[in-house]
Structure 1
Amino acid sequence: MSDDAACQDGIGDPDELERLWTPHRMAYIRGENKPSDESSGQCPFCRIPGLEDSDGLVVRRGVLAYVVLNLYPYAPGHLMVCPYRHVADYADTTDDEAAEIADLTRTAMRVVRGVSAAQGFNIGMNQGAVAGAGISAHLHQHVVPRWPGDQNFMPIIGRTRTLPELLSETRALLAEAWPG
């Protein structure tokens, strides 16, 4: 094998370029784990609580809701807070569900801030497909940590999001830091 071929295969002498490995994105590219339509009964937010925390990327379980790491995060530490009950509209949550979603969201912010020094957050729910909800049939609130300069050219021009660690490592770190 020539030196040029070895370098192109990612082995050999360094070429002064850094490599950005995001192997977890292949599942997204291939359409794996893509939520089925509502009629199939395969809601991922209903399925996740039945998995082991590490397999489902669950960070914390509450009584009425749980916190899960986003499988396709916008930023490192991107969490979602989901009620266990299959409900689509925030207005249809019970008072207790809404209170626990709010409490888990506040604690998620504290934990992520403590673990990664996030300097801001985007928090929100996309209600309905027309509003951008990828999974509109099951309510979920996004908790997206932000840092200065985190939205540089990579997602805009390169159509790539950079993540500094594997999702399983992020889940373990956040779960360990969760109080109580």
Structure 2
Amino acid sequence: MSAPHREGIRPLYSAEEIAARITSMAAEIAERRPENLLAVIVLKGGFVFGADLARALSLNDVAMEIEFISLSSYGARLKTSGEVRILRDIGCPVENRDVLLVDDVLDSGLTLRFARDLMLTRGAHRVEIAAMIDKPEGRKTEIAADYVGFTCPDYFVVGYGMDAGHAHRELPYVGVVEDNGRGK
């Protein structure tokens, strides 16, 4: 059952579409047979996607340890500053492990490239990226997700963990913010 429409937000991907795509993504990841998997969920935006993906992976017999990392390249801005900072680091070693970075949006690529390089520097065996939303038009660095929920135009999206000024994370769908001149 889809949530009601919010003023100024046009639904883009329904809760049902998201659930179906996550089921498919989990099957794709399971086919790779990750070993000693560490799922690193990028906070804050990746928490809803990360939880749903972890449960879907479990249904595909993929065992994992889950950690959280908080990175920032935005601060209070709507555009990236270009500088990535670690606000909260993971608390376990990654050496010789398969790492799955889980994030809500792959946009500029700066945050996920930083996180991927950090895990490789720490000795990860393999680092893959799962992004709920891929916005290739905003890319500022060479990086691609291994698993993508949806490829999206350069819309300002909210819901399903993604926010606008700390609002709308709770929406069960992904919607386009239309009332700020950026939605299409």
Q: TM-score, normalised by structure 1?
A: 0.28
- Name the one with the larger strand percent: 2
**Rg: which structure is higher?**
1
- Name the one with the larger helix percent: 1
Q: TM-score, normalised by structure 2?
A: 0.28
